[in-house]
Amino acid sequence: MTLKKTCEEFLTYIQNVRTLSENTVTAYKEDFIHLLQTVGADTEIEKISLEDLRTCIASLSKSHHKVTSINRFIAAVRGLFAYCKRFGYTSSNISLELKTLKASKHLPKFMTQAEVDEMCLAPVKKELLWEKRDRAIFEMFYSSGCRVSELASLKFSDFVSDFESAVVTGKGRKDRRVYFSKDARIALKEYLLDRKTRFPQSEKNGSAYVPNIFINQKGGVLSTEGIRFIVTKYSGIEGTNHHITPHAFRHTFATSMLNNGADIRVVQEMLGHSSISTTQRYTHVTTEHLKKVYNQAFPHAEKKD
């Protein structure tokens, strides 16, 4: 079995059997391209050595790839060779000898309440793209903790009455319910009225019905890349001049929930985290924030010049 054939089979397996997220499958594809280019697509999987794999890792390091990218490559290779061992393509799993690199811990970046308010009002003040749609996107991001892919995939059929909550499909194709604040619901309803005026054909029973909640300025489905562009536009020089990503809304949602006394298990469920350790990152954020406030406010606290 050649390396190329094995990679193709493994990608089909993780997508259709293990149902890993589209982003994970895409990332593994990129990792395998590097593996194929370095080792050789027609190399027999059984003939690949530990040194071959270490050469791949070394070349990534020399190309100044981030530690997280290198560790993801190692994870992809480990998954591939575990698959090969399980189905008898190799007699041993040489990837078990690979060591991941130690990465520095970065706390999730979140916005202050003032920054959230500024961002949510930016579409009204700046009028850069589509005011009502963009404000609805920001308000819904903040009040639900949705990932960008989850928000882009939202359809009318996902909501309960009056848009109070919706079911989204997250990583691993796991469904969960998310909730929307009063401000988010008001912004969404105003956008949907505006959408109906602009693109009546996109409404139900129309000739070009679009079931997705968010559409682009041509009336088609708004992609994840489109949402990222919108967030970048409003947080850039023309907008708040405080660059953020869509994920910053998710970080801010989690931090706000914990700061206001929400149980960590509840936050875990609302974010769709499979492991509590992922959610615990936000407890570190709140701790660091409290320390910062203390040092700034208390007279005898340590202050940095």
191 is an active site residue: no
Contacts of 168 (CB under 8 A, 6+ apart): 146, 150, 151, 153, 154, 158, 175, 176, 177, 178, 272
The DSSP letter of residue 19 is: -
Answer yes or no: 294 catalytic.
no
Alpha-carbon span 211 to 204, nearest angstrom:
8
Backbone angles phi, psi at 66, to 5 degrees: -65, 155
Rounded CA-CA distance 104/296 in Å is 26
Active site residue 247: yes
Please identify which of the residues 18, 177, 247, 281 carries the catalytic annotation.
Answer: 247
Q: Is 273 a catalytic residue?
A: yes
Alpha carbons 222 and 143: distance in angstroms, whole number: 20
Nearest to 139 by CA among 183, 86, 97, 205: 183
Q: Which one of the listed residues 171, 233, 242, 289 is annotated catalytic?
A: 171
Q: Report how far residue 276's alpha carbon sits from residue 297's, in angstroms, rounded to the nearest whole number.
A: 32
Cα–Cα distance for residue pair 247/244, rounded to 1 Å: 8
Tell me whether residue 147 is one of the annotated catalytic residues: yes
Asked if 171 is an active-site residue, the reply is yes
Active site residues: 147, 171, 247, 250, 273, 282
